[in-house]
Structure 1
Amino acid sequence: MSTEQRQEPELTDEQILQFEQRIKDEEAQRIPLVCQAEPLSHLEEEYKDNEPFLRKVKNLNGDHQKIRKCRGDGNCFFRAFAFAWFESVLQKRSEYVTNLATLKSTTDLLEMAGFQKLAYEDFYDVTLEQFQQLPQWQGDTDLLLANFQSEEISNAIVMHLRFVTSAYLRMHADEYEPFLVVEMISIEEFCAMHVEAFGRESDHLQITALSNALNIPVQVIYLDGSNDDVAAVHEFWPSNTKTEKVNPLRLIYRPGHYDILY
C-alpha cells in the first residue's frame, strides 16, 4: 500500500469546529454553572503571566472585591445576568414587586413578537417559580446558588431570557437591524442563529435588548490586551430608567466570556 493510500482523510472546516467545540464543552464541564463568589485576587493569579490583563485586574481592586464565575458554555452572559438580577432582588426586597411584574410582562412581549406559548411556557414557568421563591429565602444566596447550579432550572432560565431578548429585537427590528449590515442578515435570521440558539455567545446587541426588555441597567467591565492601565467600562441604560435611583448589574467580560463582579 502506498504512502498516499495510507494517509488519513483531511477534516472539513465543520468537523474541525465541532472538534474544537467538543474540547470547549469538556473543559466547561469542569466548573459549576455558577460558582461561589471568590476574591478578585484569584483573577490576578489567573493572569499573572499576562501583563496587559493583570494590570487592568489590579486596577479593579479599588472598587471591586469579588468575582463570581459562570461556566463558559456560550450561555455565560444570560446566566450571569439572571443570577445577578435574582441576587439583587434577593438582597433588596423592596424591588421584588416591581421586578416580579416585569418578569410576568415578558409573556406579553413574547406573544406580540409572534412566539407560540408552547415554545416558551415551560421556560417561563421555571423562571417565575424560582423568582417567586426569593422572598422565602430571606437573603440566603446559597439557596439561590444551589438552584442555579441545577442544569434543569438554570438552563430553563437562560432559555427564557434568550426568548425575551429575541422578542425585543424582533419587535424593534428597525432600530437594531442597521447593526447587522456587515453580516448581511435580517434580524429574524440573527435571532434564530445567535439569540434563541442555546450555547451561542452574546454581544452588545443581546445585552442592549435584554436590558431594555426588562428595564434593568447593566455595566460591563471589559478586560483586553490593550496597553491601557484601566479596563474599559460599557454601560447599558434602558431609555426609561432613572440612573440616579437604580444600581446596574455589574459584569466583567474577558474575550468570549462573562462573569459577575462585586
Structure 2
Amino acid sequence: MKILSKHYVLFRRTRQDGSCFYRAFLFSYMEILRQMQDKQAEVTRLMECFEMYTDRFSRLKWDEAYFLNPEKYFSSVVSELNEVLNVIAAGCTSEWLYQRSLQESFSGRIISFLRLLTETEIRTEEFYKQSIPKNVNVLQFCWKTVQSLDAEATTTQMRALTYTLGIPLRVEVVDKSSTGQVVLVKRLDFFHQSDLNKGPLHLTRSYLSSSTAPKLLEEGSNDADLLSSDGAPLLTLLCRRGHCDILYRK
C-alpha cells in the first residue's frame, strides 16, 4: 500500500465472487465515461465494436443452456447496455451509477456478456493458442476459465476483453518475490495493437519505469479519452492474490 500510494489516491473494493475483474472493468469504464469530454462519441465507438463482433459471436456454436438464438441474445444485451451508457453520456450522478451497478439484474447480465465476448475473442483468434495447455482444446479451456461464473480472469482473459472493446487497461499486480520476503508491484499494460504498434502485452518489473507508456496519441484518436496525458490507461485495476479492485490515480 505504501508503494501504491505514491501513484494512487484510493481504491474501491469489488465483490469477491470470481467475476471481480469483469465487475471492476465494467464499473471503472462507466466512471471514466462520465468524465469524458465527448461521451457520446465514445458510446458510438463502443457500439461499433459490438457490431463488429456480432457476426463472430453468432457463427460460433454455443451451448443451448445459454441461449437458443445467439443473435437475438447479443442484440438484446447490447441494447440494454447502450441504454445505460446513453444515460451516463447524458449526464448521470455518481450515486445513480453506483446504485445501477448494484442491481444484479443489470450487472450480472452484462458481466456474463463480457465473459462471452472474451470467449469469442479467444475462440476466433490464433494468438490465444499459446495460452492454452496442449492437453486441453479451446472449448474446454473457455468452459473452465471463461464461462464459469466463478472463474477468475488471468492475463489471457484480460487481454482478450481489452482487444474486443478497444479499451486500454493497466493492472498493478501486488505479489511476493520467490523468497516470500519482498513485496513486488508489477505493472501490466494492455493496448490495442492497431492503435499502438507495440504488441499485445507490456510487462515492467520496475514499478517506477514508464517504458510501457505509449506515445501520446494524436488529438481525435479513438483512444484519446481513455488515456491520461502521459499516455497511460485511465482504467486501472489492482490485482492481489487473483482478486481485482479498482485503483484511482492521483
The bucket for the TM-score relative to the shorter chain is 0.7 to 0.9
Alignment equivalent of 1:100, drawn from 44, 52, 56: 44
Correspondence 1:179 to 2:137: no
Identity of aligned residues (%): 24
State whether residues 12 and 247 of structure 2, in contact with CA within 8 Å, keep that contact through their aligned partners in structure 1. yes
State whether residues 110 and 164 of structure 1, in contact with CA within 8 Å, keep that contact through their aligned partners in structure 2. no
Quote the residue 1:165 is aligned against.
118
Of structures 1 and 2, the larger Rg is shown by 1
Normalised to the residue count of structure 1, the TM-score between the two structures is 0.71
Alignment equivalent of 1:251, drawn from 234, 237, 241: 237
State whether residues 175 and 184 of structure 2, in contact with CA within 8 Å, keep that contact through their aligned partners in structure 1. no
Quote the residue 2:56 is aligned against.
112
Q: How much has 1:230 moved relative to structure 2?
A: 4.5
**What SS does the aligned partner of 1:224 have?**
strand
Question: Given residue 235 of structure 1, which amino acid in structure 2 is its aligned partner?
Answer: D
Alignment equivalent of 2:13, drawn from 57, 69, 73: 69
Gaps of 5+ in 2: 61-69, 197-213, 218-226
1:1-262 residue pairs with structure 2 within 5 A? 57-113=1-57, 114-115=59-60, 116-138=70-92, 140-172=93-125, 174-181=126-133, 184-226=135-177, 227-242=181-196, 243=214, 244-245=216-217, 246-247=227-228, 248=233, 249-262=235-248
Q: How much has 1:104 moved relative to structure 2?
A: 4.1
Question: Given residue 202 of structure 1, which amino acid in structure 2 is its aligned partner?
Answer: A
Gaps of 5+ in 1: 1-56
Once the two structures are overlaid, the 10-residue window that deviates more, 91-100 or 244-253, is 91-100
Cα distance in 2 for partners of 1:110, 1:189 equals 23
User: As a proportion of its length, which structure holds more strand?
Assistant: 2
Quote the residue 1:24 is aligned against.
none
Cα distance in 2 for partners of 1:142, 1:190 equals 38
